[in-house]
Structure 1
Amino acid sequence: MNPLDEIAELFAGQGAEDYFGEAVTQAEHMYQAGFLAQRAGASDALIAAALLHDVGHFHGAVSGDELMQGTDNRHSHSGSDWLGQWFGPAVTEPVRLHVAAKRYLCAAEPEYFAKLSEASVFTLEVQGGPMTPEQVERFEAEPYYADAVALRRWDDEAKDPELETPGFDYFRPVLERLRGATG
């Protein structure tokens, strides 16, 4: 199966389910993140990362439901690993770092915490809480940390039940251009 068809099936299937206490589905959340990235003039790779950032909720030993019950599902890592079959680090690294970016922003910008949804506040604690100064320093040394921070901000905004966005087929050309760029 074409990997983009496989990803599209995730959006249409599991993606149509509730998004862990938010007012949108998982697919709507990811479409909104991709759309917000595109609207901000992001690169194709960062649009793809924003669109695909939560696919790890569908892959891995621990589901998103278990995350909401207090077990870290490390969806950023499992999603990045799975996407690495078809996409390069400009896509997969911001995905891998988007949870760390939430922890980073809570440490680097104390006012950021007040912008988190109730579900994000809960998962922040499950995922380790705000970073320590040493963790902030290590995070800022990551080559894709700035992209991950941008993705995180779109992730936080992408929970608007009133925001209509295009669906998967709209983003397919972007993903097609990037597919196979694993170097």
Structure 2
Amino acid sequence: MKLAPMRYKDYVWPHNPRVYSIDYERKMAVNKVPFGTYHLQDLGRTRRVMRGEGEFAGEGAYSQFGLLANTFYDPGPGLLIHPLWQTASAYFVELRLEQEPRPDYVRYSFAFWEASGLYSGAVQEVTRTEEAASGGNGGVLSHTVEQGDTLWAISARYGVGMTELLARNPQIRDPNLILPGEKVTVR
């Protein structure tokens, strides 16, 4: 199976990195309770950290690493598109040259941190429309997709499981591809 190349912002890898990993973390607090017991408090999930390792080989390998380094220096988050990972808005936070560079071979490693989009300072449009069919007092909650939004982030923001979110939105054929301006029914 041939996979599409990984992309971040304007950079496209000439061939995909050899090793990938994603770290998920949930922060917990331990609170002491009288008489020697304790209570665990879930402080919520933190960012996903996406790491990888790869190499550039052949003529111009170090030049290719230079292009990747220039992408690293470009500030702010960007869209990280990988053929197996879920597409995510992410910050490029680590780039490491793993060996003495040679003109025909460069080994490197990298890390991206997922940008949640929940604390950007921008107000995201959330609309409520009355349920016309039921005529009841409930409402349908929808989210208007903005640049950098992912279904994963929308499901986390509203506390709705991905399976449930996809069931409510049959118009979404590819969960890794939602476009700005689309309406996603949340509830």
TM-score normalised to structure 1 length: 0.24
Query: TM-score under structure 2 normalisation?
Result: 0.24
The structure carrying a bigger helix percent of its residues is 1
Higher relative contact order (CA 8 A, sep 6+): 1
Flag the structure with higher strand content: 2
Greater Rg over alpha carbons, structure: 2
